[in-house]
Amino acid sequence: MSGIDDALAFPALEAVFGRRARRFPLGGTLTGPLEYSSAEVPLALSAQEEAVLVAAASGTTGVVLEEWAFRDADGEPTGGDKLASFTGRTYPSPLANHSTEVFWTNDDGTFVLPQRDGRPRAYVQDREPADHALAHKGAVRLGVGRLDIPRARPNLFAFNRQLINAPGSTVFIPIADLTRQCISALLLYFDRPHGYYLVDRRLGGDPLRPFVESGLLDDTHPVDLADFERWQMVDANGVESGLVVANLLTATQALGLGGHPFSGGKGRVTMGGERHWHAIGGEGTAGGLGFRFHRVPDDAPIGAGEEIPVGLDGIFEGAVPPYHDTIEDAVDFVVGLRWGDDGAFTGDRPRPWRDERVVQRIPRPSEEAIAAVKTWVRYVWDAYGRFPATIDPFLTTVWYQAHHLDVGFYDRYYPGEAVPDHIRSHLARWHA
């Protein structure tokens, strides 16, 4: 059997239960109690190996099922109309927002495969290595050569600096867009039957009071702006990125590669590069992904004068100005992804059910709830000069590195079972 055949046949539970962070790559060097200098030459992942990992991280797999009660027993809406898409991906996502895109860097360059607005071609798709290879070829190259990730404080913890972004490795960088996530959650929070009420305790802002008086929102248990935004940060940057990394961990085991998650570099530095590295006290060079930044007004209550990432032009844009003329237009855009002329519920695309009449019986978001969302985002934009108010629009925290393992290091310091047989034999099966 070939290496890819072995990987396809590898038991899923064995990949889960055999998961370990295996950090030492071919060509690596480590100091301290585990001092070791590899006598091997670094070896990059093959295109096929990397393609499988990219697909496992965030690939499109077909159409989701969505067995929801879109209406309750009395015929009233339940909020299922806030679903962003019917596109199935390898990682689950709140309301199918799929706020996370996966960037990666290797010896050849830095890349991204934009997928969050992709539509399924078929009910089940892209399950075979040939599909993964074809998708991998469509990646956008953002730069030539390996991304310059500063190996210093305050970018990486000291214990990570020696083996991170090593020659031959591929480093995966999940980045989450909080702008669409927040707007989508606001639509869900405000509309019936939920009617959750938000306030701004920091500034004493209460822009949603008219919607309490109209009966749309219930002010019995108000939610603070900062709490709401933190919850969205956890959903998008925490849960989604964590699931992406879990997929990479599992796929790495099946392929017989080494790899490990780690706390990645600072988001603004990674997205913006050297100027943002120097702004936080860093010295020397730093690469960036080319994101656009927004300068927070000098009189803003949070982050005055700071620059925050708002998107990557044409590839991964936030639901904020300058990608939309106004912040209200951004809300219309997010609603349109669901219910616009070519939205998930309205456009000509595959949907889960045999009977197309199902989608015709799903209620639309109420105009009053959309108005409440626009009122809230306008308040935040005017009061804080940014959106969201308390967190960066784009965030990255946990990263993953995949590489070929130097078995000699493990044989010196660890018992034999530290490296399973299929990892020991990987080079012979994949790179003979």
Give residue-wise pLDDT tens across range 24-79. Answer: 999 999 999 999 999 999 999 999 999 999 999 999 999 999 998 999 999 999 99
Average pLDDT score, the chain: 96
User: 101 - beta bridge partners?
Assistant: 175
Look-up: residue for tokens 């071919």? 26
Closest CA to 368 of 194, 182, 222: 194
Strands (E), 151-210: 170-177, 198-199
Interstrand relation of 223-224 and 198-199 (parallel, antiparallel or unpaired): parallel
The structure's pTM equals 0.97
Rounded to 5 degrees, φ, ψ at 268 are -65, -35
Residue 89 parent element (H or E): strand 87-89
Q: What is the pLDDT of residue 350?
A: 87
Q: What is the pLDDT of residue 1?
A: 57
Residue corresponding to tokens 């972004």: 165
pLDDT at 77: 94
DSSP reduced 3-state for 171: strand
The set of residues, in sequence order, having a beta carbon less than 8 Å from that of 131 and lying 6+ positions away, is 55, 125
* pLDDT for position 349: 80
Quick one: pLDDT at residue 161?
95
User: Around 12, how many Cα atoms within 13 Å sit in the side-chain half-sphere?
Assistant: 3
pLDDT in tens, the chain (432 residues): 589 999 999 999 999 999 999 999 999 999 999 999 999 999 999 999 999 999 999 999 999 999 989 999 999 999 999 999 999 999 999 999 999 999 999 999 999 999 999 999 999 999 999 999 999 999 999 999 999 999 999 999 999 999 999 999 999 999 999 999 999 999 999 999 999 999 999 999 999 999 999 999 999 999 999 999 999 999 999 999 999 999 999 999 999 999 999 999 999 999 999 999 999 999 999 999 999 999 999 999 999 999 999 999 999 999 999 999 999 999 999 999 999 999 999 988 889 999 988 999 999 999 999 999 999 999 999 999 999 999 999 999 999 999 999 999 999 999 999 999 999 999 999 998
* Confidence at residue 159, expressed as pLDDT on a 0 to 100 scale: 95
Q: What backbone phi and psi angles, to 5 degrees, belong to 396?
A: -145, 140
- Identify the residue whose tokens are 């990645």: 264
Count the helices and strands in the chain (H runs, E runs).
16, 16
**369/203 Cα distance (integer angstroms):** 23
Angle at CA of residue 117, ends 113 and 118, nearest 5°: 70
Contact predicate 82/188, CB 8 Å: yes
151 CB burial (10 A radius; 0-12, 13-18, 19+)? middle
Residue type, 40: E
